[in-house]
Amino acid sequence: DSDVSRYEAAVNEVQVPILNRELCNTWLEHRELNVTQGMICAGYAEGGKDACQGDSGGPLLCPMEDHPNRWFVGGIVSWGIKCAHPHLPGVYAYVPKYVPWIEQQMALYSEK
């Protein structure tokens, strides 16, 4: 399949801090964008590291507080403006907000 060669062969990772939603909205307000309760932002004020095109749907893994060697999916790469630019963080779907819906869907489809 010729499409396979278009994709990265290795999985890459980058560490980005999760940002306060108010700060994120302040950075994005001049673009008339709003990060809602179902979203979280991650990135650096100075830019330099970020999710980018092709990363959508990938996980934002977060360490568990009581178990630093265990991780959970805190977010799913959703959108951003450019890549790794100052004051333009990546925006992720906030998975914990959707856990009840996910569990409902899993139960619904596991019955079939």
At 70, list the tokens. Answer: 């265990």
Q: What percent of the chain has pLDDT over 90?
A: 80
Using the predicted structure, report yes or no on whether residue 111 has a pLDDT greater than 90: no
Assess if residue 16 is contained within a domain: yes
Cα 75 to Cα 97: distance, rounded to the nearest angstrom: 10
Assess if residue 2 is contained within a domain: no
Q: Give CA 13 to chain center in angstroms.
A: 12
Q: So what's the pLDDT on residue 51?
A: 95
Domain that holds residue 102: 10-110
The three-point CA angle 43-41-50 to 5° equals 35
Please write the tens of the pLDDT for every residue from 23-80: 999 999 988 999 999 999 999 999 999 999 999 999 999 999 999 899 999 999 999 9
**CATH number where 87 lies:** 2.40.10.10
Stretch (H or E) spanning 109: helix 95-110
